[in-house]
Structures are given as C-alpha cells and as structure tokens.
Homo-oligomer: A and B are copies of this chain.
Amino acid sequence: MVIVMKSGASLEQINNVIKWVKELGYSPHPSVGVERTVIGAVGDERGKMILKNAEMMSGVEKVVAILKPYKLASRETRVANTVVDVGGVKIGAGNFVVMAGPCAVESEEQIMQSAYIAQKGGAQIMRGGAYKPRTSPYNFQGMEEDGLKLLAQAREKTGMLFATEVVNPGDVDLVESYSDILQIGARNVQNFALLKRVGSSRKPVLLKRGMMTTIEEFLMSAEYILSSGNDNVILCERGIRTFETATRNTLDISAVCVLKELTHLPVIVDPSHSAGNWRYVIPLSKAALAVGADGILVEVHPDPANAFCDGAQSLKAEKFYTLMAELRRMEEALGMRKLQ
C-alpha cells in the first residue's frame, strides 16, 4: 500500500501514521515530496484490509493499493497457460473450442435436435440449462433434474460432453453427478458460498463474468475456486452492462487481452448473451477468435421463434454451420491448432 498524506499534513499526523503502520506489522517507507508526503507500507498486503482504514486517520488523503489481490490466478504465480482437459477436449492449448446448444433444456426432442446440430457443425462440447436464473419469478425456471437427465441422454447418443449451470450450493452434488462442466452464471459470479462449493468439486468450472464485475473482481472470484482446491477454471467474458442499449450487454472484447496477460487460465467468449441478437453472433465470434480467445459458448436452437428463453439471440442450424465454416477458415489463416 502507498499512503498519501494531505498537502499540509503535520509532522505529528505523519508520525501517527508511521507508528500505526508499524503496529500492524508493516515496514513504513516515508518519502517527502514537494507537495505531499507519501508513506509506502511494505509487507504482504494481501488480505490485510486494515491498512485501507488509514483513510480514517487525520491528515491522510488516500490509500493506493500496489499489489494484485489475487495470487493463484495470477500469471506471476504460474507463467504457463493452464489447459483444462474435459474428457480429451483441451481448452487453453492454442486451439479454439466451440461449446454450443440451447439456452434451456425444454424437451427431449429439442435437446436431441440441438445436440445433433452442435455435433454436425463441429462443436466439441454441448451446452444447455436445467436450472435457469430468470429475472422474473413468472418465467420458465428450467426442468431441473429432468433436464440433467435429458442432457445425459444426449451425451450418450452423440458422445458429446456438456456444460450446465448450477445456481444453488445445495444442488452441486446433484449437478456434478451428471455434468461434465459446472457453469457458474453471471449473476452468481460473487455468490461466494457457491464458488467455495464448486471449488471442492473435481469437475471443471466455467465461470462467467458478471455484468457488473471488474476484471480484477472476476479474477478474485476465480481465486475463490482455485483456493478451494479446484484448478480447472475456464473464464468466460459475456458482456458487461453499460449505458448502451443497442446490444443486450456490451461485449468487452479487450477483457480477453487483459485476462490473457494477467492470468494463466483459459478465456472464452459468449457472443450470444453479450449481443442479445443472433445477427451479431457470427461477426462477434470471429472477433473472439481474432483477439485470442480460447473458444466460444454459443446459443443454438432448432426453432428459435418458439424457444422458451433467449430465442432472439439463438442461431438456427444453417447459421451455425456458416459460423463454423468461417471460424475454420480463420483458424487456418492464423495457423492455429485445428478444431479437434
């Protein structure tokens, strides 16, 4: 931490801060400037929120944090990319993984058709929600365990593994008994009880950024999972909330670059939820590949006009095949490892 004293702070005030920093077990490094005195507090700052309280003290202007608050998620701790292996599908290994399927599991017919579309297009992993966090209590809340069973049935028929969301710590036992990847949705990115619980699972976790979450907070949420013992975390940028309403959320494409620099964890992009409109999904998926993401999570539905949720942002089969063809062309051009 760096403690910045007010212009005109008295010697007594400065000495009080120095004394207090020492009492907390830190080594104070005062530096007297032309206008202000600045006091560095050297020590391991992580988890020592109390230093921040210096802002209460007389004569103090502000306290500036220097160290990154996450450790296990940081590239400083681990330089090499983490590769998450989901039944042989590698995520984060320089390839581009496509996870595709409907927003929600609605019926046997719908999930089987979706799975065949995903497979025919060349997706490696299937997605589909059985527990749906919905803004309104009056909207479809998901098929719950029946939905998990249908996903398992589709896996049996197609051989494709799947990711599905879990929303309640009390449901993790059940969901992990079916699912290949535990998905944590945007609204639960700071549901710490849930993060701790999936941190003790042996299944990989797909963690979506919240619509209000900074990149640093996002990495702190990953840190909850990592520090609970689960190393297999996949990060997913899915758009943030801004003043712009032309898209459902604003895809923070730069976050992919920033995350690839700060962390060793794989980073994928959800172009469907960020756009909220199927017409933008193809170009945004291509942008995700170009910017260096490790894959996408994309919504595909056999009949979007009758989807129970998010129909407007789901691709029909033909559009999905077009997307996959364009991604393959780009992968070759950029000399990437092939889609497996």
Residue among A32, A64, A139, A287 with the highest chain B CB neighbour number at 10 A: A287
Which residues of chain B are within 8 angstroms of A4 by Cβ–Cβ distance? 66
A168 CA to B192 CA, complexed, in Å: 9
Please judge, given known A-B contacts A8-B76, A138-B47, whether A214 and B244 are in contact too, CB under 8 Å. Answer: yes
Q: How many copies does the complex hold?
A: 4
Q: Does A86 contact B (CB under 8 A)?
A: no
B53 touches A307 (CB 8 A): yes
A203 is an interface residue with CB less than 8 A from chain B: no
Chain B residues near A96: list those with CB within 8 A: none
Judge if A339 is at the interface, Cβ distance under 8 Å: no
**In the assembled complex, which residues on chain B have CB atoms less than 8 Å from the CB atom of A196?**
137
Q: Is the CB of A246 within 8 A of B66?
A: no
Among A196, A291, A292, find the residue whose CB has the most chain B CB atoms closer than 10 A. Answer: A291
Docked CA distance A332–B333 (Å): 8
Do residues A66 and B38 form an inter-chain contact, with CB atoms below 8 A? yes
CB contact list, A273-317 vs B, under 8 A = 274-275, 277-280, 283-284, 286-292, 304-309, 311-312, 314
> Inside 8 A of A35's CB, which chain B residues have their CB?
44, 67
Give bound CA distance, A34 to B224, whole Å. Answer: 24
Question: When chains A and B are docked, how far (Å) is the Cα of A170 from the Cα of B138?
Answer: 24
Q: How far is the CA of A228 from the CA of B64 in the complex (A)?
A: 33
Whether, in the assembled complex, A177 has its beta carbon less than 8 Å from a beta carbon of chain B, the answer is: no
Q: Give bound CA distance, A2 to B228, whole Å.
A: 35
Within 8 A of B (CB), among A186-205: 187-188, 190-193, 196
The answer to whether A31 touches B36, judged by C-beta atoms less than 8 angstroms apart, is no
Q: How far is the CB of A233 from chain B (nearest CB, A)?
A: 13
Query: Contacting chain B: which of A87-95, A114-122, A151-159, A254-262?
Result: A254-262
Show 11 A/B contacts (Cβ-Cβ < 8 Å), sorted by A: A8-B76, A31-B42, A52-B311, A56-B278, A56-B311, A64-B66, A136-B223, A245-B245, A253-B253, A332-B333, A333-B334
Instruction: List chain A positions with a Cβ less than 8 A from chain B.
Output: 2, 4, 6-8, 20, 29, 31-36, 38, 40, 42-44, 46-47, 49-50, 52-57, 64, 66-67, 69-70, 76, 133-140, 167-171, 187-188, 190-193, 196, 210-212, 214-217, 220, 223-224, 227-228, 240-247, 250-258, 261, 274-275, 277-280, 283-284, 286-292, 304-309, 311-312, 314, 329-330, 332-334
